[in-house]
Amino acid sequence: MAQRAPGTGIPLGRILGIPIYVHPSWFIIFVLITLSLRTQFASQHPGWSPAQHWTLGIALADKSTVRTVQQAVLEGFPLLI
């Protein structure tokens, strides 16, 4: 019987016996989007506290990262063209 190749990335767990991994580059993308959003919120809302800027940056970066990856996969990486 052929051996399976080990999964690439950081293992998150299994869903219905299927191993789920996150590629390390996802964290880089997440951090860059978080910093971008935090900077944008800081410039648009100077009265907010730094904690509010970071909280919204992190919360919205998760949705932005997932959307960016889905778009890249489904539409053939239009961001690189």
The pTM of the full predicted model, rounded to 2 decimals, is 0.59
- Which positions ≥6 away from 6 have C-beta within 8 Å? none
Give a yes or no: residue 7 inside a domain: no
Q: What are phi and psi of 19, to 5 degrees?
A: -70, 140
In a domain? residue 31: yes
Domain that holds residue 35: 23-80
- From first to last of the 81 residues of the chain, give the pLDDT tens digit: 455 556 678 888 888 888 888 888 888 888 888 898 889 888 988 998 988 888 888 888 877 666 665 665 556 544 444
Q: Is residue 14 part of a domain?
A: no
Taking the C-alpha atoms of residue 35 and residue 58, their distance in angstroms, rounded to an integer, is: 8
Structural domains of the chain, count: 1
β-strands 10-15, 18-22 pairing? antiparallel
Residue 6 lies in a domain: no
| Cβ–Cβ < 8 Å for 57, 41 | yes
